[in-house]
Amino acid sequence: MQSALARNRVNVTGQGTQALIFVHGFGCAQDDWRKVAPKFERDYKVIRYDLSGCGDASDAYDLERHHSLQGHATDLLEIVHELGLTQPFLVGHAAGAISGALAAIREPQTFAKLALLGAPPHYIDEPGYVGGASRTQIEAIVRGLEADYPIWCEQTVPLAMGHPSRPQLEAELVRSYQRIEPDIAMHFAHAQFYSDFRSALPFVTTPTLVVQSPADMFVPFAVGQFLSQVIPSAELIQLQTLGHYPQLTGPDELASVLHRWAAI
């Protein structure tokens, strides 16, 4: 049986004893953290990995296991246990953030701290909740993805990044999305865009920092406010960096926020 470390291409660097895990979101890979993670290697043991289906872990994706983000939470817990980590800190982005929160609910003593970046528990607007899109809009997004995934990436990813003056960075992120096999991307997208984990969040007992961009096409600021209100021990920090990928477009600001969070 393949180990979790090999399955998800786990990469461990750094010199510290306290472990710090970075988890990327849909469409990306562990390289998503290349501008942030090295800034922590002097003081922390830094762990990065590819979510199943993404990056170099496409063969790790299982249609049954990963029909929900709970499957990615299981992957994460297996990695933590296989490495023998004691109360690591976790930084998660988007689907990786929600997977981290689900893992912390399942095993409340496993993580010492969570930092959730652009973390959507539900994408669809509901009475009393702003998710960022109507069900009709989400259905249109998914239909576009299913019709022609490479074109969907070229059209949608730059908008989500929110930095048209940085075409090289946009192109790099588009290529990252396009590495995912279209059938996996469609399955993962359904698991992400139609999920609703709002009722689970009050069971997150791990101290949590909610990090939110003021202008995120996928995850509006109201979502960050919702997270900070329903997670019992959560604090909300608003970044100045715009867009859904501040780890790429504003790495210095994000690293500064995370350094302060980790040091408390």
Alpha helices (H) in the chain, listed in sequence order:
4-7, 69-83, 95-106, 135-147, 149-161, 167-178, 182-193, 221-230, 246-249, 251-263
> Residues 76-91: pLDDT tens digits?
999 999 999 999 999 9
Q: What is the pLDDT of residue 264?
A: 84
Above 90 in pLDDT, residue 2? Answer: no
What is the model's pLDDT at position 31?
A: 96
**pLDDT value at 179 more than 90:** yes
Is the pLDDT score of 244 beyond 80? yes
Q: Judge whether residue 30 has pLDDT over 80.
A: yes
233 CB contacts (<8 Å, ≥6 apart)? 204, 205, 206, 207, 208
Side chain identity at residue 134, one-letter code: S
